[in-house]
Amino acid sequence: MKKIILGLVLSFMALATVLPAAAQCVMCKSQVEAARAEKDDYDVAGLNKGIVYMMTVPYILMGAVGFFWYRRTHPKRPAKF
């Protein structure tokens, strides 16, 4: 039963990553639509990349803190010969 649930969860996570990510918040989207209405050649690719970049920095920081916390709380095991 646990294997089935784990398989379903992993399948859902794999399918969820395939969907395209729209990184714009509502405020950014309305601002881009207003700018696009004024200018015909307004490109939003840079804006999306910037939003995704700003989103990844907190996850990297949390991962680094978690890694160092784990290493500090779990002592190294002595090598077995």
pLDDT digits (tens, 9 = 90+) for 68-77: 999 999 888 7
pLDDT tens digit string along 16-41? 765 565 656 777 777 777 777 777 66
For residue 54 the two structure tokens come to 């700003």
Q: Residue 42's pLDDT band (boundaries 50, 70, 90)? A: low
Contact status, residue 28 vs residue 51, Cβ threshold 8 Å: yes
Tell me which residue of 57, 47, 48 sits closest to 23, measured CA to CA.
Answer: 48
